[in-house]
């Protein structure tokens, strides 16, 4: 699936595409440049480790020359031991030279719309409320749930795609979804 995002004097012309297997090295290099090496030690990363993104919910932004300038992925999680299924968004990354030009917002709108179209119930993330609040994310919905490992509670945000999806959520987020294939070494 592709969505063209129109450029303007303030925003570059980009395309948002479903991530492909061949995008992995380019995406990892982008994440390393934008987020640095500490990204792999975050609580959110621990939920993603060893898993594949939710089916149809990993996207890249490319400029007109085809260069990857942004990425966002959503991951399957469960809200506590007996909780409902939800999605964990992240990381959202945009090349520094394109920061503030609407690339991240376009990726967010696209990811949320696709999650809604695929009938997911809620999306969670750890991030800046000032940025993510404009998409409807709030910490008001996450009071009964927690992340595994350290995190700042005021940065733990949720968006209900279905009204009431977070009403009875409690416990610690657990990873679900497809496991990534692992390479085994033969001795």
Task: Assess if residue 86 is contained within a domain.
Answer: yes
pLDDT at 129: 97
Q: What is the CATH number of the domain that holds 110?
A: 3.40.630.30
The pLDDT value recorded for residue 45 is 85
Residue 6: the pLDDT is 42
Range of the domain at 153: 2-175
Q: Do the Cβ atoms of 90 and 127 come closer than 8 Å?
A: yes
Is 34 part of a structural domain of the chain? yes
Q: Does residue 161 form part of some domain?
A: yes
Q: Is residue 187 part of a domain?
A: no
Residue 81 domain-assigned (yes or no)? yes
- CB–CB of 99/69 below 8 Å? no
The reply to whether 85 falls in a domain is: yes
CA–CA gap between residue 84 and residue 86 (Å, rounded): 7
Does residue 180 sit within a domain?
Answer: no
Residue range 45-80, pLDDT digits in tens: 888 998 999 999 999 999 999 999 999 999 999 987
3-class SS of residue 39: helix
Q: Report residue 52 as tokens.
A: 């594949």
Q: What pLDDT is attached to residue 36? A: 84
Name residues of the chain where pLDDT drops below 50. 1-6, 8, 184-187
Number of domains in the chain: 1
For the whole model, what pTM was predicted? Answer: 0.89
């Amino acid at each position: 699936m592709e969505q063209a995002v129109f450029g303007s004097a303030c925003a570059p012309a980009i395309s948002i595409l479903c991530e492909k297997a061949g995008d992995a090295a380019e995406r990892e290099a982008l994440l390393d440049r934008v987020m640095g090496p500490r990204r792999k030690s975050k609580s959110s990363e621990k939920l993603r480790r060893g898993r594949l993104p939710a089916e149809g919910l990993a996207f890249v932004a490319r400029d007109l020359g085809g260069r990857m300038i942004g990425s966002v992925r959503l991951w399957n999680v469960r809200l506590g031991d007996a909780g409902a299924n939800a999605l964990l968004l992240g990381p959202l990354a945009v090349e520094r030279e394109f920061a503030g030009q609407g690339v991240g917002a376009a990726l967010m709108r696209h990811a949320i719309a696709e999650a809604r179209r695929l009938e997911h119930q809620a999306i969670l993330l750890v991030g800046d409320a000032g940025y993510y609040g404009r998409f409807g994310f709030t910490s008001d919905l996450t009071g009964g749930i927690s992340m595994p490992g350290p995190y700042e509670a005021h940065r733990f945000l949720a968006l209900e795609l279905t009204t009431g999806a977070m009403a009875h959520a409690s416990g610690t987020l657990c990873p679900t979804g497809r496991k990534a294939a692992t390479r085994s070494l033969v001795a």
